[in-house]
Structure 1
């Protein structure tokens, strides 16, 4: 799911959409067992956009309801125990699974899934640190850049008479 959220990175100061052309999103969808037809690809892009917006703070309820419309979980009992089976229109099965995974992460690991602390970055992180203090998607890129920028600003301020 984090890989899906991170399909719109900023490269050289410009936002890139790794799913802009059908080939990129189709390849990912097929790797996940999806058919990768046009309808499915559009639903995947919609789910990605909704989850990015929701992770940044505001839940787009109408779009979320559209993705989850006519979705059911049905119990099936066997000797192996109780299992829940997801039923959704085929073109929305993978997007629905993404939404459910996102909700599961938000519920089981509250506050751990968040945007990178670098305002110029559009990536997300899942904080696995014990103290829940991770701020950047990558210390190597965003963390070091911001720390270096702050250091330069402080040095400029102290050098100015």
Structure 2
């Protein structure tokens, strides 16, 4: 039901919306759908309520705008810093000398932290040119291109890539057939 091809949690969450016949389709119409998505994304133990669900959808809209823009403006950076400052949690140094943050608080605060941490990781370690929208004009999915030469074009080759290739093949053969028909 859900695809996890974005390359990071925040993009996979953005991708819970899709395009069908020109209309945006909500992949999370009910709270139970969010819990199913969380389980598939490997996020365990969070039980969210309807209010948290609505707030996460608001966050998803902001994350989608960040994906569309390919980065953060000064205004979005201020918003992100405000959100990060408000998240409760504890930092600790691990045995292998890594800083580790453990979120505390409500399930919503923990989910916000997971999504914002994923975004922050992209903003600090990612390459903006590798954040791409699917090359299929009928798709609104985003992904982080990890291909060696930065040449990935589709969110998923099995669906969008094949569909687009079949469409072009059909168009080419239709064009050549109509040219043959018009030749005396």
TM-score with structure 1 setting the length: 0.75
Query: In structure 1, which of residues 101, 104, 110 is the aligned counterpart of residue 118 of structure 2?
Result: 101
Larger relative contact order (Cα-Cα within 8 Å, sequence gap ≥ 6): 2
**Runs of 5+ in structure 1 lacking a partner?**
none
Tell me if the contact between 1:75 and 1:83 (Cα under 8 Å) persists in the aligned partners. Answer: yes
Residue 85 of structure 1 aligns to a residue whose secondary structure is: strand
CA contact (8 A) 1:9 1:122 kept: yes
Count of equivalent residues:
161
Partner in structure 2 of residue 33 of structure 1 = 45
37-46 or 135-144: bigger deviation: 37-46
- CA RMSD between the two structures: 3.2
* 2:152 alignment partner, SS class: coil
Rate the CA distance shift 1:80–1:3 in 2: closer, same or farther, 3 A.
closer
Instruction: Indicate yes or no: 2:138 matched with 1:120.
Output: yes
SS in 2 for 1:122: coil
Which of residues 141, 144, 148 is equivalent to 1:130? Answer: 148
Structure 2, unpaired ranges of 5+: 1-8
116-125 or 76-85, larger mean C-alpha shift:
76-85
Give me the TM-score of the superposition, normalised by structure 2: 0.67
